[in-house]
A and B are shown apart, each in its own frame.
Chain A
């Protein structure tokens, strides 16, 4: 056995708190070590060459690199040793950066710890065995969950690469929150005008299968081979037959709140979310309709010329397989009910940004006339309160919701364009305009539309006669201030949607502290998740504006295509394996496995049938939970065998 040890200085990252020369010197004294060297940047090309040269000249059969976390450069060095004919799984990485130099100040102690870690790895290295790379087949089809702008863009980009993609949307139409917006910053483009061509393309593209009014219920399998169960709720209107003539709506006797208009206007039980909706078909709301079991009213069915209405439609379960999944389940806004000092939703003219968006929209409840909700009076004075919920770790959301400065500015500007003699006052903590042309947009609102910005928070909103009394502070003049407004718009923050939470539990995705889906790496793997083959785009990972969402969706699409374009892909080699003689079939491992990779199977032994654990090699992620939980030590993990780990512990104990 000939082991080579390579200690990296990582510039000063490691050498500042670890005496790398001493560590290398010490390594030479350890058993089986044939070579031990230090280099400034082991990951750089000359560093890699040193290892390659040693493998060749000194006939090394194991390599240990003492450097940064294996998460950074394990693939690099595996490739290096594989290039010289060694099995890549015999590489051992000692993390003396994240676990030593970055967390210690004392160079003496740091050096000592680095030595111990190198020693334990030398002991383990001697026991490491070559492993086979495992490969599995791939289904050339992707699933996109959620059809807001993120999901639409991801689906279009995957379809544009020539692959089949299924787009699942919870509500009756695709479009998401963007479909509710009147205009978009910083160009004041009409939202529907830029979104609807994409929506139409989704409906038209032969590579896209759209399943609206449906939810993903269950996902099994693994990268390349996800088995998905989608529940499609009945629409009660046959999509292909509906001609959108609108004859059904006037006869429907049931009137309910219209969610598309943020409940500011009524709709019927048979309706279409908005004129540009895709699928272009009406839908019946089963909670309110009087025709669905029991059949009390069938007025719409009576007038429907093309006979598109079917009260007997049943939920449908669609099962399919996909190679990769893109999650684009979006956001909701922070509930106004939580903001007690702003009336907790009890003052009718204190509204959310999204409600204001509907009010100012020509397709909205007041056909763009800007009448306030309480008494329909034309709005003259508006106060916008930024950070309604955001940047308040004590009671509400700890983070900045990113888009509120811009959307409040946009709405104030739109308002001033409509109501020339009106006033728009923004109360803000900071104005954050980090985006292309955003600062200029903010400047335009102030200079051209004379939108007033007051730095400071509003402490209280009080209904004062027909108006709202706003009490706040101007921190620039250091005065408490008050004013009256016809309408107060709260720039409510962004929170993960219910759909995001639901899909995270279905897919077993890791969530961050604020409930958004956690990226595999915040900077370099922004669309990858904790599950290989599952990607995420848009506000499901955190607050984002439209340009950022669209570009992220594009990357998620490319990453999904990276997988579905392959015929087969490599999966984890360091997986669990069962010693059938030791296994007594207790099943503890089955419940422990977070990936449902273990099942109990019948095996014949001494003429009897026994139950023993069996690992599905494609499903196993090599987390090691089962190996730790097994009461009989019957489960071991390739690459992390008990004997290897015990050798490490023993080496560390000897110090």
Chain B
């Protein structure tokens, strides 16, 4: 049996407080009722339920949060936000996780990595946009 080690070191605290800062929400308000997951139209497509993700944010588990597709599947329909009994803007928390990924672990696109076939299909504007956002240049 392997145990997941819980620790509240600098890395964990930094992650939790950054998500709180970006979203403007008090993550510790969540008392894990699960209503956000229960009402989410895309729960079935998420690798971790929303409340699971929030619990991991409370514990500062950055790796686990970012590995999961949960925040990317979120469509920001705001159902969770409207229904949360603790008045947490859950969709804002999901958005904050997305933002965090972009700010701190940006994915880069290399022109040479793109297949020729794809380049022919992609609209010009999409290419320009993605290079602006995701290139190191």
Residues of chain A touching chain B, judged by Cβ–Cβ distance below 8 Å, are: 381, 423, 425, 431, 442-443, 446-447, 450-455, 471, 474, 476-477, 479-484
**Closest CB of chain A to B117's CB: distance in Å?**
41
- B1 surroundings in chain A (CB, below 8 A): 480
Q: Does B52 contact A (CB under 8 A)?
A: yes
Docked-complex contact B3 and A481, CB < 8 angstroms:
yes
Which single member of A425, A455, A471 contacts B3 (CB below 8 Å)? A471
> How far is B51's CA from A431's CA once the two chains are assembled, in angstroms?
17
Docked-complex contact A423 and B8, CB < 8 angstroms:
yes
Across the two chains, which residue of chain A brings its CB closest to B60? A452
Docked-complex contact A483 and B7, CB < 8 angstroms:
yes
Interface pick from B25-33, B89-97, B106-114, B122-130: B25-33
**Closest CB of chain B to A447's CB: distance in Å?**
5
- B31 surroundings in chain A (CB, below 8 A): 431, 442-443, 446, 453
> How far is B132's CA from A117's CA once the two chains are assembled, in angstroms?
93
A-contact 0/1 string along B30-56, CB 8 Å cutoff = 011000000000000000000110011
Listed A/B pairs (15) with beta-carbon separation below 8 Å: A425-B6, A442-B31, A452-B28, A453-B31, A454-B6, A454-B59, A474-B55, A474-B59, A476-B32, A479-B4, A480-B1, A480-B2, A481-B6, A482-B4, A484-B7
- B6 surroundings in chain A (CB, below 8 A): 425, 454, 481-483
Q: Nearest 10 CB-CB pairs, A to B?
A: A483-B6, A482-B3, A423-B8, A479-B4, A446-B28, A450-B28, A481-B4, A480-B3, A447-B29, A476-B55
- A481 surroundings in chain B (CB, below 8 A): 3-6
Docked-complex contact B29 and A477, CB < 8 angstroms:
no
- B29 surroundings in chain A (CB, below 8 A): 443, 446-447
> How far is B31's CA from A443's CA once the two chains are assembled, in angstroms?
8
Question: How many B residues are at the interface, by size bracket?
Answer: 20 to 34
Q: Does B70 contact A (CB under 8 A)?
A: no
Do A452 and B5 form a contact, CB below 8 Å, given A446-B29, A447-B26?
A: no
Other than A453-B31, A481-B6, give 17 A-B pairs with Cβ distance below 8 A: A425-B6, A431-B31, A443-B86, A447-B28, A447-B29, A450-B28, A452-B8, A452-B58, A474-B4, A476-B51, A476-B52, A477-B55, A480-B2, A480-B3, A482-B3, A483-B5, A484-B7
Which single member of A455, A482, A484 contacts B32 (CB below 8 Å)? A455
Across the two chains, which residue of chain B brings its CB closest to A442? B31
- B56 surroundings in chain A (CB, below 8 A): 477
> How far is B59's CA from A454's CA once the two chains are assembled, in angstroms?
9
- B26 surroundings in chain A (CB, below 8 A): 447
Across the two chains, which residue of chain B brings its CB closest to A479? B4
Residues of chain B touching chain A, judged by Cβ–Cβ distance below 8 Å, are: 1-8, 26, 28-29, 31-32, 51-52, 55-56, 58-59, 86
Of the listed residues A425, A451, A476, A482, the one surrounded by the most CB atoms of chain B closer than 10 A to its CB is: A476
- A483 surroundings in chain B (CB, below 8 A): 5-7
Across the two chains, which residue of chain A brings its CB closest to B5? A482
> How far is B59's CA from A452's CA once the two chains are assembled, in angstroms?
8
Label chain A's interface by main secondary structure.
strand
> How far is B25's CA from A446's CA once the two chains are assembled, in angstroms?
13
**Closest CB of chain B to A474's CB: distance in Å?**
7
Of the listed residues A452, A474, A477, the one surrounded by the most CB atoms of chain B closer than 10 A to its CB is: A477
- B7 surroundings in chain A (CB, below 8 A): 483-484
Of the listed residues B3, B26, B32, B55, the one surrounded by the most CB atoms of chain A closer than 10 A to its CB is: B3
Docked-complex contact B28 and A451, CB < 8 angstroms:
yes
- B28 surroundings in chain A (CB, below 8 A): 446-447, 450-452
> How far is B58's CA from A25's CA once the two chains are assembled, in angstroms?
72
- B2 surroundings in chain A (CB, below 8 A): 480
**Closest CB of chain A to B24's CB: distance in Å?**
14
**Closest CB of chain A to B55's CB: distance in Å?**
5
> How far is B28's CA from A451's CA once the two chains are assembled, in angstroms?
8
- A451 surroundings in chain B (CB, below 8 A): 28
- A452 surroundings in chain B (CB, below 8 A): 8, 28, 58-59
- A425 surroundings in chain B (CB, below 8 A): 6
- B86 surroundings in chain A (CB, below 8 A): 443
- A450 surroundings in chain B (CB, below 8 A): 28
**Closest CB of chain A to B6's CB: distance in Å?**
4
**Closest CB of chain A to B29's CB: distance in Å?**
5
- A446 surroundings in chain B (CB, below 8 A): 28-29, 31
**Closest CB of chain B to A432's CB: distance in Å?**
13
**Closest CB of chain B to A248's CB: distance in Å?**
48
> How far is B58's CA from A474's CA once the two chains are assembled, in angstroms?
13
**Closest CB of chain A to B85's CB: distance in Å?**
10
- A455 surroundings in chain B (CB, below 8 A): 32
> How far is B8's CA from A217's CA once the two chains are assembled, in angstroms?
55
> How far is B28's CA from A447's CA once the two chains are assembled, in angstroms?
5
Of the listed residues B2, B8, B26, B58, the one surrounded by the most CB atoms of chain A closer than 10 A to its CB is: B8
**Closest CB of chain A to B63's CB: distance in Å?**
13
**Closest CB of chain B to A363's CB: distance in Å?**
30
Which single member of B3, B5, B8, B52 contacts A477 (CB below 8 Å)? B52
Across the two chains, which residue of chain A brings its CB closest to B20? A450
Across the two chains, which residue of chain A brings its CB closest to B9? A423
- A443 surroundings in chain B (CB, below 8 A): 29, 31, 86
**Closest CB of chain A to B84's CB: distance in Å?**
13
Which single member of B4, B52, B55, B59 contacts A480 (CB below 8 Å)? B4
Across the two chains, which residue of chain A brings its CB closest to B48? A477
- B59 surroundings in chain A (CB, below 8 A): 452, 454, 474
> How far is B30's CA from A454's CA once the two chains are assembled, in angstroms?
12
- A482 surroundings in chain B (CB, below 8 A): 3-6
Across the two chains, which residue of chain A brings its CB closest to B17? A450
- B58 surroundings in chain A (CB, below 8 A): 452
> How far is B1's CA from A474's CA once the two chains are assembled, in angstroms?
14
> How far is B47's CA from A393's CA once the two chains are assembled, in angstroms?
36
**Closest CB of chain B to A605's CB: distance in Å?**
80
- A474 surroundings in chain B (CB, below 8 A): 4, 55, 59
> How far is B2's CA from A443's CA once the two chains are assembled, in angstroms?
32
> How far is B52's CA from A446's CA once the two chains are assembled, in angstroms?
17
Across the two chains, which residue of chain A brings its CB closest to B49? A476
> How far is B51's CA from A358's CA once the two chains are assembled, in angstroms?
37
- B52 surroundings in chain A (CB, below 8 A): 476-477
**Closest CB of chain A to B58's CB: distance in Å?**
6
> How far is B59's CA from A451's CA once the two chains are assembled, in angstroms?
11
- A454 surroundings in chain B (CB, below 8 A): 6, 59
> How far is B31's CA from A442's CA once the two chains are assembled, in angstroms?
10
- A476 surroundings in chain B (CB, below 8 A): 32, 51-52, 55
- B8 surroundings in chain A (CB, below 8 A): 381, 423, 452
- B4 surroundings in chain A (CB, below 8 A): 474, 477, 479-482
Across the two chains, which residue of chain A brings its CB closest to B52? A477
> How far is B26's CA from A443's CA once the two chains are assembled, in angstroms?
11
